[in-house]
Amino acid sequence: MGTTLGTTTGVTVGVIGGGQLARMMIPAAVNLGIDIRVLAEQPGMSAELAASAVGDYHDLDTVAAFADTVDVITFDHEHVPQEILRALVARGVAVHPGPDALLYAQDKLLMRQRLTELGLPVPDWARVENPDELDAFLAEHGGRAVVKTARGGYDGKGVRVVAHKHEADDWFQALAEDANGGALLVEELVDFRRELAQVVARRPSGDIRSWPVVETVQRDGVCAEVVAPAPHSSGRLAEVAEQIARRVAEGIGVTGVLAVELFETTDDRLLINELAMRPHNSGHWSIDGSVTSQFEQHLRAVLDLPLGDTATREPWSIMVNVLGGPAQGSMSDRYAGAFAAHPSVKVHNYNKAPRPGRKIGHVTAVGADLDEVAYQARATAAFFQD
């Protein structure tokens, strides 16, 4: 008889989804001696090293069998269908964030509606079912607007600036063919100075902790860079951003990490763009730049443990995404050059195959001099993409 390996004690967290967010929860779990298991969509995913099951998260039997092996279920993404989430809750599984909260990260129309009910600041918006309704919105908003699919968008897919009522016809057509019917979200084209994100974490028992508000820079609809804290964020701006995120977390009953994407308008208002209820790209800097990373905090929060200190370790942290990656080979082929040139920069490799535009890793630099930190982070990321 062999020896039994892997004797862990205590709690087990189950993560649905095998992407890089699940992957980055693993070291945090290991450090705390928390057993972490992942239900991956397929073999060979980013979080493979903790994958204990591979299967379809749309299938209740698969998800329930996985849930039976853990103490709490959490997520790498927000796509698990409501019916599955509700069936888990009915079985007595602890699900964080719960379906009632997650709904507002799954459907942008419901999200806009709920935030409006809560009195929170959002762009002007409307639900539109056909080109004529879109036309009416365009007429009231200077002839240009942003149309979004309510569900399934990511990295700017499902977001389109339009100036004519027929520019969303393909999406209206797809809705007409969809048995569930539905509508599109249309919003004013916000005149923003920059985009910000406020990340917080909330325990089921209510306690909330927040990191400083950060600036996010998007290129081609994808987050390219994050600066923490957001430069030139006066005490007042930081306070308002934090208040908004707290009100969202409490109003919607979010548990775990919540990221609130914000627009800072040219007339100095903060408007909510969208919500993510899981660790978020705008919080990756916290692994190297904060006393408690968003991944550790998410685990603490979903286990309803006291939350960690969110103070910054250095005045500035800059995270740069590795988008696409090397034209040939993998990120690690470039380690020798990158590590020799930038020994203080932390490199995070998601072990994903390079593909144009795909997020395959990120780098973070921290320090006291913003220009130097930005140079270090950008120059390091440049080693990994052609």
Ligand X SMILES: Nc1ncnc2c1ncn2[C@@H]1O[C@H](COP(=O)(O)OP(=O)(O)OP(=O)(O)O)[C@@H](O)[C@H]1O
In the block, tokens 């959002």 appear at 122
Nearer to ligand X, 230 or 373 (CB): 230
Q: Which two tokens stand for residue 118?
A: 């809560």
Confirm or reject binding of residue 317 to ligand X (CB under 6 A): no
Confirm or reject binding of residue 35 to ligand X (CB under 6 A): no
Stretch 79-98: interaction string toward ligand X, x if CB under 6 A: --------------------
Confirm or reject binding of residue 124 to ligand X (CB under 6 A): no
Cα–Cα distance, 200 to 194 (Å, whole number): 20
Q: Which does 190 bind (CB under 5 to 8 A by kind): Mg ion, ligand X, none?
A: ligand X
* Cβ 221 to Mg ion shortest distance, Å: 8
Cα–Cα distance, 206 to 8 (Å, whole number): 29
Dihedral, CA of residue 370, residue 379, residue 285 and residue 271, to nearest 10: 70
- Got the DSSP string for 19-73? SHHHHHHHHHHHHHT-EEEEEESSTT-TTGGGEEEE--TT-HHHHHHHHTT-SEE
Which candidate, 261, 263, 260, 240, places its Cα nearest to that of 252? 260
Out of 189, 208, 238, 305, point to the residue binding ligand X (CB under 6 A): 189
Confirm or reject binding of residue 207 to ligand X (CB under 6 A): no
* Cβ 316 to Mg ion shortest distance, Å: 23
Question: Please, are residues 369 and 384 in contact by the beta-carbon 8 Å criterion?
Answer: no
Stretch 214-243: interaction string toward ligand X, x if CB under 6 A: ----x--x----------------------
Out of 146, 201, 360, 373, point to the residue binding ligand X (CB under 6 A): 146
Q: Which amino acid is at 80?
A: V
Confirm or reject binding of residue 154 to ligand X (CB under 6 A): yes
Nearer to Mg ion, 223 or 228 (CB): 223
3-class secondary structure, 224: strand
Out of 35, 76, 107, 187, point to the residue binding ligand X (CB under 6 A): 187
Confirm or reject binding of residue 107 to ligand X (CB under 6 A): no
Pairing of strands 256-265, 192-202: antiparallel
Q: Which does 158 bind (CB under 5 to 8 A by kind): Mg ion, ligand X, none?
A: ligand X
The residues that touch ligand X, with contacts defined as CB under 6 A, are: 123, 146, 148, 153-159, 187, 189-190, 195, 218, 221, 261, 273-274
